[in-house]
Chains A and B, each alone.
Chain A
């Protein structure tokens, strides 16, 4: 595993408030779990950046090391790893995700 991949991941995580590592794209997800998290984020109405791990095997493996998490998708909010599909789904259902994402929503006048 090259350190530069880890550095690149750290950089992109730092620079995007809501970042999803996924298989495929939000327009064309390539996996049901990635699709579900995209749908949840869209329902939350929060803008998010997405990285398609299928485009680069070094990122696909590198993000698992970076997060110490074996599966994809993986959601980062404000630089913090939030979880995979199961955790995001549970947080969506119990309202925790809405609370977490509230400051980041589009059209929020308090947003910096």
Chain B
């Protein structure tokens, strides 16, 4: 099973979600990650849709290298609140 580093996950999200501001940390071993994604493209979308956008960006990593992902998704307005 391949491993993946936080920078690679960040790159994938930034490549797929417009104007994404991404913070990724590894919190256990090399396959448990926590990620916060801030993007204006989340505006008006329910949480499930936002998370699916991030999962889609991560692609096969979600089935393989990433064992756990604690995810927060916010718009710039929500992040500033």
Bound Cα distance A70, B60 (Å): 10
A69 CB contacts on chain B under 8 angstroms = 48, 51-52, 55
Chain B count of residues within 8 A CB distance of the other chain: 12
Contact across chains for A83 and B68 when beta carbons are under 8 A apart: no
Flag whether B47 is at the interface (Cβ < 8 A).
yes
Contact A83 B51, CB 8 Å, known A70-B63, A71-B62: yes
A33 CB contacts on chain B under 8 angstroms = 68
A39 CB contacts on chain B under 8 angstroms = none
Bound Cα distance A71, B69 (Å): 9
CB nearest neighbor in A for B70? A86
Taking A70-B55, A86-B72 as known contacts, 19 extra A-B pairs with beta carbons closer than 8 A to each other, sorted by chain A number, are A33-B68, A68-B52, A69-B51, A69-B55, A70-B62, A71-B62, A71-B68, A81-B48, A83-B47, A83-B48, A83-B51, A84-B51, A85-B70, A86-B51, A86-B70, A87-B48, A90-B47, A90-B72, A91-B47
0 or 1 for each of B68-80: is its CB under 8 Å from A? (1 = yes): 1111100000000
Within 8 A of A (CB), among B30-56: 47-48, 51-52, 55
CB nearest neighbor in B for A91? B47
Bound Cα distance A87, B50 (Å): 10
B70 CB contacts on chain A under 8 angstroms = 85-86
Bound Cα distance A83, B48 (Å): 6
Looking at B48, B52, B62, B63, the one whose CB has the most chain A CB atoms below 10 A away is B48
Q: Chain B's nearest CB lies how many Å from the CB of A70?
A: 4
A83 CB contacts on chain B under 8 angstroms = 47-48, 51
